[in-house]
Amino acid sequence: MRLTPGPPRHVDLDRVDLFDLDLYTSGDPHPVWDMMRAKAPLHHQVLPDGREFWSVTRYDDVCRVLGDHREFTSERGTVPTHLGTDDVAAGVLLTSTDPPRHTEVRRPIGTRLTARAVRVWEDSIRRSVVRFLEPALDGGTFDLAEQALLLPAMVTGPLLGIPEKDWEELVRLTAMVTAPSDPHFRQGSEAATLAIAHHELVTYVKDWVRTRRAGGDEDDSLLHHLMSVRPGGVPLTDEEIALDGYSILLGANVTTPHTVSGTVHALVERPEQFAKAQADPSLIPNLVEEGLRWTSSACNFMRYAVDDVRIGGGTVPARGAVVAWIGSANRDETRFPDPHEFDITREGAKRQVAFGFGPHFCIGAPLARLTLRVFFEELLQRSASIEFDGEPQHLRSYFIAGTTHLPITVRRRRTT
């Protein structure tokens, strides 16, 4: 998805198709979202097959939809690729479960992923980042977007308890779930791609659990920790562990690569921002926040209205699907002045909602922030300059705003 929008243009909102994959692959959704925030903060669309949904694009409305599970439930599905078909794992899968069960499962996992808890992994993460960056520093063409797909697995694989031999395949499967229409990941139809990926990921976690139980093996991994979670005092079944493990794998692998690629893309386009961050490393945490706002890699989430709900100057009927556009909320001019400017010194960048909002705020956000901070510390310390070495290619997805190819050349920084 294009992150630096073109010039303002008139948009006929009656003819807009927010499920048009070309809008995100080769088009420019930001002028559409700008117009929706100004003229149609609650937008209704009916697809040719009869499915319908409502969209909210303003920051406050997006936060309300994602934050209030009593008005907007997660228990029929949370991503637009499932629109029209209720999630069969609703009430079990962590991402498709409302409180109180959601809280009972999430809380014990979350204690392992607080900012304080993940701090002990910083040295390990730094070693993984240095290992990742080394091929980029040899002066040849380095496809950052393609290579970055594996970065989260390099960082989180050991923490999850996933052996290195499985990382590449699991990354491919998670990409199939989130971008089933992209030719890089598609296998047959979109529905077939989703079904294959879902089955293989869930089967992988089931087999992982079965092996651990049979061998009596114990470790300190997050997946093993799931085996001890007891919502309501009752242990999770192997099926429930598999579904929650599937959710954790998706969260770990999907958005960070595109945040890395999109933020580096912004820095290459704006060498003054690159120089500013390099001259003052204390700006890197804010660079991370601005990068998260700018890329909004998970560019939307979906909920369903429990009853008729007034929002955005209109009404969503009971059981109506609502898509909350995070990519638009993070460019809302009422919250972020000059929202289409990438500025690593931006005040209030941390108000971005790239990690979501409310009960389903990304459980791995502290780990993602740590990984991104370490990545940019190492990149800026080791790179004298970065240049494009080819045209970027954007992910074909209306759910994940990402890049499949970003060829760059990096000139190594001399150390004294």
The model's pLDDT over 105-135, given as tens digits with 9 standing for 90+, comes to: 888 888 888 999 999 999 999 999 999 999 9
pLDDT at site 328: 98
Q: How far apart are the first and last CA of the chain?
A: 40
Confidence of residue 92 (pLDDT cuts 50, 70, 90): confident
Q: Tell me the average pLDDT across 222-229.
A: 82
Q: Tell me the average pLDDT across 265-276.
A: 97
Q: Which pLDDT tens digit goes with each residue over 68-80?
A: 999 999 999 998 9
Share the mean pLDDT of the chain: 92
Higher per-residue confidence, 160 vs 389? 389
Q: Which pLDDT tens digit goes with each residue over 36-59?
A: 999 999 999 999 999 999 999 999
pLDDT at site 217: 66
pLDDT at site 234: 83
pLDDT at site 284: 98
Higher per-residue confidence, 29 vs 218? 29
Q: Residue 223: pLDDT above 90?
A: no
Distance between CA 195 and CA 193 in Å, rounded? 5
The residue assigned the tokens 């088009």 is 27
pLDDT at site 246: 82
Q: Are 158 and 124 in contact (CB under 8 A)?
A: yes
- What are 252's two structure tokens? 């770990």
HEC readout, the chain: CCCCCCCCCCCCCCCCCCCCHHHHHCCCCHHHHHHHHHHCCEEEEECCCCCEEEEECCHHHHHHHHHCCCCEECCCCCCHHHCCCCCCCCCCCHHHCCCCHHHHHHHHHHCCCCHHHHHHHHHHHHHHHHHHHHHHHHCCCEEHHHHHCCHHHHHHHHHHCCCHHHHHHHHHHHHHHHCCCCCCCCCCCHHHHHHHHHHHHHHHHHHHHHHHHHHCCCCCCHHHHHCCCCHHHCCCCHHHHHHHHHHHHHHHHCCHHHHHHHHHHHHHHCHHHHHHHHHCHHHHHHHHHHHHHHHCCECEEEEEECCCEEECCEEECCCCEEEEEHHHHCCCCCCCCCCCCCCCCCCCHHHCCCCCCHHHCCCCHHHHHHHHHHHHHHHHHHEEEEEECCCCEECCCCCECCEEECEEEEEECCCC
What domains are defined for the chain?
Answer: 21-412 (1.10.630.10)
Q: Hey, what amino acid is at 137?
A: L
Higher per-residue confidence, 105 vs 407? 407
Peptide bond into 100 cis (omega under 30): yes
Share of the chain above pLDDT 90, in %: 70
Q: Hey, what amino acid is at 248?
A: I
pTM: 0.94
pLDDT at site 4: 87
